[in-house]
Structure 1
Amino acid sequence: MMLRIGTGALQAELLPYGAALHQLWLGGHQVVAGLPDMAAYHAGRGYHGAVVGPVANRIRGAEAMIGDQLWRFEPNEGTTLLHGGEPGLHARDWAIADQGPEHATFALDLGHCEGGFPGQRRIEARYRVAEMTLRLDLVARTDRPTLMNLSSHVYWNLTGRGNLDGHRLRVAADQFVPVDARLCPAGAPVAVTGEMDLREGRPLDGGPRYDHNFCLSDSRSALRPVAWLSAPDAPEMELATTEPGLQVYDGGASMFGIALEPQCWPDAPNQPGYPSILLAPEDGPLVQVTEWRFTLPDGA
């Protein structure tokens, strides 16, 4: 089942499977690199358009301390836990909790230790279209301390041509997290230099380079623009988020789309000084907000 929201120039098609953004249209422009059908979503492991978690990105050694207890998880990338593992949010059928012409809310209830993490948890993905903006609120609650770091794993391709030729990405980050051979953090953030310096914008058609977290701030903050994606004769996209990090992943060797994943920094429980991803009941609901704001090309 697919849901379509939006009645104007911007329209989104959503899937309960993974609470995923399957497609986004701006007039005649198709800007999301979705999969062709549901069979491809069930068979794939590219996280196309899905909400990922409960802990997005990587946990080194598939283990972490929560309070005074060490929790071990089932690794799914060598010895590493990636995006919550095989039973992660991307591979779940979410319930449709609310739906209207311009909005849809998906909800998922997870039992204590379901997926390996503690707590009875409720997670909601609230999509809304307003003029030329798509907004996603990710809301999470728990009845005991747990780890929570959600993200949206959409692959963007503004031209719809099957590759990223002509695309240019700008990210307002002075630092990024260096990684080791397992793509886990190799220490404290370092200053952006060379091709890792995206502050003035860089082309994306030079081969695979990016699977890195760019550090936007030391903690969650008010909603603010952090990244800009453009291509000739295509819509421009501005990404705004409340999150302290942005994982940039260029899709690997095929480079069919660019994933821009707002989230906290990777492997946070095992990295002193990183923004915390601990969520306790007394914290109230965790709310992560992302907006994708679009401008059509001249003459469109």
Structure 2
Amino acid sequence: MSVRTVCTLPDGRDIETIEIEAGGLSARVLTLGAIVQDLRLDGVDHPLVLGSPCVEDYLGPTRYFGAIAGRFANRIGGGRFHLDGKEYSTDRNFIGRHTLHGGHDGAALQNWRIASVAPDKVSLRLHLPDGHMGFPGNLHVQADIGLTVDSLIIGITAETDAATPCSFAHHGYFDLDGGGDIRKHSLMIHAETYLPTDDELIPTGRIAPVAETPFDFRDLRRIGSAGYDHNFCLSDRQQPLRPVALLVGESGLGMQVETTACGLQLYDGAGIKSVAGLEGRIYGPWAGVALETQHWPDAPNRPGFPPAILRPEDRYSETTIYRFIQ
């Protein structure tokens, strides 16, 4: 376990890095965005995640890599929603029309505060003030990032003083083979339905069956090049922690995803631009796959979707485990 200041950003913020380990698994975590910058497993000669050695790159070309996205992960169509009889306009940082991951200055761009550190775990806290990126409510968030001998565990809790959309997702990109192309990785997702989107990646409102479509991952199969940036509907409400997906590299290394969340966003990384990564690697399209557990996208505008509004009398709490299988 170690904690040190790794850099000072141009705006004067000091970014710290925390190194944790448990058994054969080790991770490096940044206070910027609660980013898992690096993740290593004994016996595997490459990083399990995409990351950047340059912290400043997380403000630009590697934005969201390994970060906690929120206060509402994924997209809110039109950058607006109605809540308790009032319309709210949120930051339209996606093609100038929609809100993505809480706006241009969302949780992934914030410098979280270290609350506690143990050899195998770090707890980070963040306050998003009322009106931040257009969202109502003072939101107090804690991210607990921990390791076991074979698992990365992400637990996120939040409380608010006013009703607000709330959904956080770990936006890690995984490459189990270290080959820079995940299209030959195999994937299984325990979902009978998914959310079709329009040309701007906003859900249409339809909940569609995966059967007889390229979205059918009920049996383990290769990811391929069909193009995925879609939510898979795991359930219609939060559930006890359960397995929801399995990713397997050509090397045979596997990763089981377990979560309490009702949605899983599969993004195949097709839009990743050429950028310098860990160990001198150059990442490009399909360099990593994101499996983001979340509330369903655009839920504040979709009464038929599982509700994603946090109220003062409630507490947001979600847990996701990425369990590696050798």
- TM-score normalised over the length of structure 1: 0.95
Write the distance in 1 (CA, Å) between the matches of 2:79 and 2:53.
Answer: 32
Mapping for residues 266-277 of structure 1, pairs under 5 Å: 266-277=297-308
Write the distance in 2 (CA, Å) between the matches of 1:174 and 1:218.
Answer: 12
CA contact (8 A) 1:195 1:202 kept: no
Change beyond 3 A, Cα 1:38–1:137: same
Aligned amino acid, residue 311 of structure 2? A
Change beyond 3 A, Cα 1:162–1:268: same
Q: CA deviation at 1:110?
A: 1.6
Write the distance in 2 (CA, Å) between the matches of 1:251 and 1:121.
Answer: 30
Write the distance in 1 (CA, Å) between the matches of 2:22 and 2:228.
Answer: 35
Write the distance in 1 (CA, Å) between the matches of 2:112 and 2:160.
Answer: 17
Q: Which runs of 5+ in 2 are unaligned?
A: 1-15, 272-284
Write the distance in 1 (CA, Å) between the matches of 2:128 and 2:93.
Answer: 20
Report how many aligned residue pairs link the two structures: 294
Matching residue of 1:197: 216
Write the distance in 2 (CA, Å) between the matches of 1:13 and 1:202.
Answer: 31
Aligned amino acid, residue 28 of structure 2? E
Write the distance in 1 (CA, Å) between the matches of 2:141 and 2:133.
Answer: 13
Q: CA deviation at 1:46?
A: 3.7
Aligned amino acid, residue 293 of structure 2? P
Aligned amino acid, residue 297 of structure 2? P
Aligned amino acid, residue 102 of structure 2? G
Q: Is 1:164 paired with 2:182?
A: yes
Instruction: For residues 271-299 of structure 1, give each alpha carbon's deviation from its aligned partner in whole angstroms, at most 9, with x where no partner exists.
Output: 1210111100111x210100111112xxx
Aligned amino acid, residue 304 of structure 2? G
Write the distance in 2 (CA, Å) between the matches of 1:263 and 1:186.
Answer: 18
Q: CA deviation at 1:12?
A: 1.3
Matching residue of 1:9: 24
Percent of aligned pairs sharing the same letter = 37
Instruction: For residues 190-230 of structure 1, give each alpha carbon's deviation from its aligned partner in whole angstroms, at most 9, with x where no partner exists.
Output: 100321100002212x3251000000000001000000000
CA contact (8 A) 1:53 1:148 kept: yes
Write the distance in 2 (CA, Å) between the matches of 1:239 and 1:264.
Answer: 16
Q: CA deviation at 1:106?
A: 0.8
Which is further off, 44-53 or 12-21? Answer: 44-53
Q: Is 1:180 paired with 2:208?
A: no
Matching residue of 2:86: 69
Q: Is 1:26 paired with 2:41?
A: yes
Write the distance in 1 (CA, Å) between the matches of 2:257 and 2:231.
Answer: 15
Instruction: For residues 90-148 of structure 1, give each alpha carbon's deviation from its aligned partner in whole angstroms, at most 9, with x where no partner exists.
Output: 11110111101010011001221122211111111101112212211111000111110
Write the distance in 1 (CA, Å) between the matches of 2:110 and 2:43.
Answer: 31
Matching residue of 1:262: 293
Q: CA deviation at 1:73?
A: 1.2
Secondary structure in 2 aligned to 1:96? Answer: strand
Instruction: For residues 259-281 of structure 1, give each alpha carbon's deviation from its aligned partner in whole angstroms, at most 9, with x where no partner exists.
Output: 00000111001112101111001
Write the distance in 2 (CA, Å) between the matches of 1:28 and 1:37.
Answer: 26
Q: Give 1:231's match in structure 2, choosing from 227, 244, 249.
A: 249
CA contact (8 A) 2:52 2:62 kept: no
Q: Which runs of 5+ in 1 are unaligned?
A: none
Matching residue of 1:287: 317
CA contact (8 A) 2:57 2:63 kept: no
Aligned amino acid, residue 263 of structure 1? Q
Change beyond 3 A, Cα 1:240–1:229: same
Write the distance in 1 (CA, Å) between the matches of 2:43 and 2:311.
Answer: 45
Change beyond 3 A, Cα 1:234–1:12: farther
Aligned-residue CA RMSD (Å): 1.2
CA contact (8 A) 2:195 2:233 kept: yes
Secondary structure in 1 aligned to 2:214? Answer: helix
Secondary structure in 2 aligned to 1:6? Answer: strand
Aligned amino acid, residue 23 of structure 1? D
Q: CA deviation at 1:58?
A: 0.7
